[in-house]
Amino acid sequence: MSIVLEHVAYTYMPGTPFEQQALKDVSATIEQGSLTAIAGHTGSGKSTLLQQFNGLLQPTAGRVLVDGVDINPKAKKERAAAHAVRLKVGMVFQYAEQQLFEETVAKDIAFGPKNLGLSDEETAARVKEAMRLVHLDYETYAKRSPFALSGGQMRRVAIAGVLALQPEYLVLDEPVAGLDPRGREELIATIRHLHEKEHVTIVLVSHNMDDIARLADHVLIMSHGQLVCDAAPREAFKQSDMLKEAGLKVPHTMALMQQLRAKGLAVRTDCLTIAEAKKRNLEGYEEQRRQEQCSVISPSGSTSRAVPSCTGSTRARRSCCSSSTSS
């Protein structure tokens, strides 16, 4: 089960003096269960690509398949199936809080399910579940006006409105753009929870490499309408020339580690987050200390011998060093 792009191209206003090709021969796969980030500089085509996933924009050339079904079929008899499969892809636009309009949070989230013709009981159940998924307590927020909430909470209400439709793929366009630090962290925690605990397949557009490093397990990098990288984040961020050409930078943690290495410190330069850098570099430091302790110094100050077998488990290394010292 996946979203597959096959040689997708898209041109705005074709055949006019304002014609502009936004996508050029893009092929990629969004695997079910993944959290895929689409990155790129402004104007790179990432948001245009995003709108191909559920047929909001139809490709000028190529195909988009959701779970094996072409969502833009030419044959009329295939259009019913295509419409049904499009509903598997839920889209949350940038500044999604601007889409809120109902007088209460519960009514806003219920709008989609009601338009699907669901019963009041089923709609109410979906509203409660969607609010749970985005960490909004039903009793606290259901009857409140969405416009009385913080920016981050309003955006979570908008995401809940899409989740209430029970999509199999959740597509987020710049989900944390414009939020204050607290709102950013709350929404990032929500996205991580949806992916890791609720097993929602997520596609998000972002130009923030730090957010991508923290969240994504797969990254597509766009530049001038072309897909220039399709890889795991760690592999993508190693390609400094490609990132520079695409107008992007490595995450701040990786940049810091590279600067420390340039100053002569023996640190890992492939760490994506502060937590990872702390853990892996401390492990490296402790390993270095153990190796140094496995070199026995004689009273005269010369090295008498190095223990040859300090490559096993931590317990074995400690035992090895201990026995060497006692001898």
- Same domain? 284 vs 142: no
Q: What tokens were used for 314?
A: 């931590």
Predicted pLDDT at 319: 47
DSSP 32: T
- Residue 125: pLDDT above 80? yes
Percent of the chain with pLDDT over 90: 61
pTM for the model: 0.81
What is the overall mean pLDDT for the chain? 87
| 287 assigned to some structural domain | yes
Domain boundary among 223, 249, 275: 249
| 83 assigned to some structural domain | yes
Check residues 176 and 292 and name the one with the higher pLDDT: 176
Total number of domains constituting the chain: 2
- Same domain? 50 vs 161: yes
- Same domain? 289 vs 225: no
Give the count of beta carbons closer than 10 Å to the beta carbon of residue 284: 13
Predicted pLDDT at 268: 85
| 254 assigned to some structural domain | no
pLDDT tens digits, one per residue of 286-321:
877 788 777 655 455 555 444 444 444 444 444 444
| 71 assigned to some structural domain | yes
Predicted pLDDT at 326: 47
- Please say whether the beta carbons of 21 and 9 come within 8 A: yes
- Same domain? 128 vs 265: no
Largest CA distance in the chain: 91
- Same domain? 224 vs 93: yes
Predicted pLDDT at 297: 53
Predicted pLDDT at 295: 67
- Same domain? 91 vs 131: yes
| 104 assigned to some structural domain | yes
pLDDT tens digits, one per residue of 8-61:
999 999 999 999 999 999 999 999 999 999 999 988 999 899 999 999 999 999
Sign of the torsion formed by the C-alpha atoms of 85, 171, 94 and 165: positive
| 72 assigned to some structural domain | yes
Can you give the residue range of the structural domain that contains 230? Answer: 2-249
| 255 assigned to some structural domain | no
State the CATH number of the domain containing residue 118. Answer: 3.40.50.300
pLDDT tens digits, one per residue of 154-166:
999 999 999 999 9
- Residue 285: pLDDT above 80? no
| 282 assigned to some structural domain | yes
Predicted pLDDT at 75: 87
Q: Confidence band (pLDDT; 50, 70, 90) for 222?
A: very high
Domain boundary among 201, 227, 249: 249
- Same domain? 91 vs 165: yes
- Kindly report the length of the chain: 327
Q: Lowest mean pLDDT of 42-46, 114-118, 281-285, name the range.
A: 281-285
Predicted pLDDT at 283: 80
- Residue 327: pLDDT above 50? no
Predicted pLDDT at 301: 52
